[in-house]
Amino acid sequence: MYVYTIQAMPGFKAKFDGDTSVKYRVRRTHTHAPASHKSRTDVIRTDLGYTEAAAMVERFNDKERESRSAKN
């Protein structure tokens, strides 16, 4: 399973959650990695505005939930 999150781009520091003056990136973390390996994190998209990044994260996480419920 993957978990998608928003992170400010390197070199930017958001003053508050949803700060529109900085650019964000969407990251994906694989949560079911084998115990002998660290969890794997990939950058999916970069240089996004907060609203665009938040919408993308919500869509991806919804799809992951649907996929997980379909498997069960």
pLDDT: which is higher, 10 or 32: 10
pLDDT in tens, 32-57: 766 656 668 899 999 999 999 999 99
Res 36: pLDDT: 58
Q: Letter for the amino acid at 4?
A: Y
Res 26: pLDDT: 96
Domain count along the chain: 1
Helix (H, G, I), strand (E, B) or coil at 26: strand
* pTM metric for this prediction: 0.80
**What is the domain extent for residue 51?**
2-71
Per DSSP (E only), the strands in 1-72 are: 2-8, 24-30, 40-48
Contacts by 43-46, CB closer than 8 A, 24 or more apart: 44/4, 46/9
CA atoms within 13 A on the CB side of 39: 10
Q: DSSP letters along 35-53, please? A: TTSPPEEEEEEEEE-HHHH
